[in-house]
Amino acid sequence: MNRTLRIAVIGGGIGGLTAARALLRRGFEVHVYESSPELKEIGAGVALGPNAMKALRWLDLEAPVRSIGYQAPFQLLRTWKGRMISKTDATLAAQRFGANGCTIHRADLLDVLAQSVPADVVTLSARCEAVTTGQASAAARFTDGSEIEADLVVGADGIHSAVRTSLFGPDAPQFTGKICYRSVIPVADLPARRIEPYEGLWLGPHGTLVIYGVRRGELVNVVAHYEDATYQHESWIAQCDRREILDRYRRWHPSLQEIFAAGDIWYKWALYDRDPIPAWTKGRTTILGDAAHPMLPYLGQGAGQAIEDACVLAAALARLDDDPVGALLLYERSRRPRASRVVLTARARGDDNHLVSPIAALRRDVAIAVRKRLGADVTGRGEGWIAEYDAGSPGALAG
């Protein structure tokens, strides 16, 4: 047993903090370097599927996450005009997959994760510029000129990862022609004062709407996707005028105008896509989360995949702790095929959601209903393989 490995995690977001929690529980020495002056998140919700909740269960974090999250009693899928395509009882997912999903405010999730590790394992205001990696150790250099050396470096520094760029060069994001608007609205500000009339996924020509509760149902998170090739700013914090959303969705179900009107602050985000990359690891450095597999948000799996990575990385290191380089390769072998498949499935899902032809959309909706009726999968959209996965089980490690 060699649990004296010193592991530097670059990035204290959802993936980095989960990795710290998972590695500390396995007895490793961990330090997190986060570029921001505080651990904070943008104001938005995040969906955690059954797979993410099972991974959190292994880390003893399922209960605190559920206590501040929201659990919809049904998963609702509707057309843009309000016709119900499918209604799935949440208890069915729990029975089939071993856990129910949960939706949560990103800041609340980050709080739970931050509280789950000792404060002194995180250094703030530390922006990594580059890493160097070899067979015996790895080092990270920061923008203030300082450097650290560790037995292993884990890049959990998000979509614009400096660690990934150091290892493999810059990536080539492609604009998808899709953008999304989002807002978090107090339920008390909604005319219905309830989430249910709006809740769920709404599919329409050129767009998808995702509406769910967070913070025990006190807030409602709205993400409104649309096709627009003219806006190409990949920012999570650029604001826009509410009138734009009201206009975009004016032909959708009238109840949606109510919810859009209740949102004071709206953000606008151009969606870029990146192909899965062929390797995550070099020497004593690897990457996880968005640094390794940024994906479109259509499956609500970005955070879930980062959480799965963290669990599997810790398990791989625990199994091969006397061979850290081999352990990183085991982690990559175990995770890259699945995460890449999720990236590609999320890409396809965006196109399937935005179908313009009414006939194609009807064909999609009937196929969903039939698959559900036949019991082929819980939601009828063929994503059982995502929910089934259990990152903490021994089977999650490749043979």
Ligand X SMILES: Cc1cc2nc3c(=O)[nH]c(=O)nc-3n(C[C@H](O)[C@H](O)[C@H](O)COP(=O)(O)OP(=O)(O)OC[C@H]3O[C@@H](n4cnc5c(N)ncnc54)[C@H](O)[C@@H]3O)c2cc1C
| Contacts with ligand X, residue ranges (CB under 6 A) | 10-16, 33-36, 44, 46-47, 127-128, 156-158, 162, 182, 236, 289-291, 297, 300-304, 306
Longest dimension (CA), the chain: 63
Asked if 157 and 289 count as a contact pair (C-beta separation under 8 A), the reply is no
- Strand ranges inside 119-206, DSSP E: 122-123, 128-133, 138-142, 147-150, 152-155, 174-186, 200-204
Helix spans in 154-226 (H): 162-168
CB of 14 to ligand X, least distance (A): 4
CB of 3 to ligand X, least distance (A): 24
> Of 280, 215, 250, 247, whose CA–CA distance to 71 is shortest?
215
Q: Specify the residue, 48 or 329, whose C-beta has the smaller distance to ligand X.
A: 48
Residue 325's contacts (CB-CB under 8 Å, 6 or more residues apart) are 135, 283, 284
Enter the tokens of residue 120: 């002194």
Q: How many beta carbons lie within 10 A of that of residue 250, not counting itself? A: 11
Q: Specify the residue, 50 or 158, whose C-beta has the smaller distance to ligand X.
A: 158
CB of 27 to ligand X, least distance (A): 23
Strand-strand pairing, 84-89 and 207-214: unpaired
Q: Specify the residue, 46 or 320, whose C-beta has the smaller distance to ligand X.
A: 46
Catalytic residue from among 33, 198, 212, 331: 212
Q: Specify the residue, 20 or 329, whose C-beta has the smaller distance to ligand X.
A: 20
Q: What number of H helices and E strands is found in the chain?
A: 12, 18
Q: Coil, strand, or helix at residue 183?
A: strand
CB of 328 to ligand X, least distance (A): 17
**CA-to-CA distance for 395 and 27, rounded, in angstroms?**
21
CB of 113 to ligand X, least distance (A): 10
Q: Specify the residue, 7 or 162, whose C-beta has the smaller distance to ligand X.
A: 162
Active site residue 212: yes
* One-letter identity of residue 29: E
Q: Specify the residue, 287 or 318, whose C-beta has the smaller distance to ligand X.
A: 287
* Distances in whole angstroms, Cα of residue 218 to Cα of each of 46, 198, 214, 389: 15, 14, 7, 30
Q: Specify the residue, 74 or 272, whose C-beta has the smaller distance to ligand X.
A: 272
> Of 153, 134, 73, whose CA–CA distance to 317 is shortest?
153
CB of 331 to ligand X, least distance (A): 15
**CA-to-CA distance for 23 and 30, rounded, in angstroms?**
7
Strand-strand pairing, 207-214 and 152-155: unpaired
CB of 159 to ligand X, least distance (A): 6
User: What positions carry a catalytic annotation?
Assistant: 212
